[in-house]
Amino acid sequence: MSHTKRSELRRLPKRGSHDPQSIHAILDAGFVAHVGFQTGGQPFVIPTLYGRDGDKLYLHGSSASRMVTELEKSISVCITVTLVDGLVLARSAFHHSMNYRSVVAFGIAQKVKDGERKLRALRTISEHLLPGRWPDVRAPNEKELKATTILEFVIEEASAKIRTGPPLDEEADYGLPVWAGVLPLTLRAKLPVPDLRLAEEVELPGYVLRFRKD
């Protein structure tokens, strides 16, 4: 994974990194990618689920969707993933911020045509979202596979950016009688809600009960 001016970190570069391990860790912790592309002179940004395998991201969607039909033309794509870890509350309005982890990746998506590769990609997406789920469910049938397009996005270059820690106020403001600090935020799973038509003998899988996404 290389980097050029396209992925150069210009604003607060000390918070950034081109390290593949840092980039992969953020991608693995996320659920939703925002896919940016341009068609007909109009930019679009579409949120979608994804799965990662090395330096590849797998996206899927209806064969008729605009994102899919445009990306399979091998156009340039920008994908971003952002995790919000906390609200940073400063003593001044100007220095309020967020603690976050984000990735911006550039590359070109290719349509996956081979049936076995499509199944592997769908498994990658499923296991990314909820590890252990794929072996339990019915695999997609031929009709479902035909209606689904899988896109393989090879990360040509990417950058990560991370902010942690307390607010950074002006020195003169530290004596102000204003509460300052960090309000941590996490994505927390609640108790699973069974489907109303669930058969009585079906037990709750352990991977659902123990689920967490850091």
- pLDDT of 185 reads 96
Q: Is the pTM of this model over 0.95?
A: no
- pLDDT of 203 reads 95
- The region of weakest confidence among 65-69, 105-109, 173-177 is 65-69
Residues 81 and 101: their CA atoms lie apart, in Å, by: 8
- Percent share of the chain, pLDDT over 70: 93
pLDDT of 132 above 80: yes
Spans of all domains in the chain: 5-188
Structural class in CATH, domain 5-188: mainly beta
- The region of weakest confidence among 7-11, 45-49, 53-57, 125-129 is 7-11
From the list 102, 113, 43, the residue with the least C-alpha distance to 75 is 43
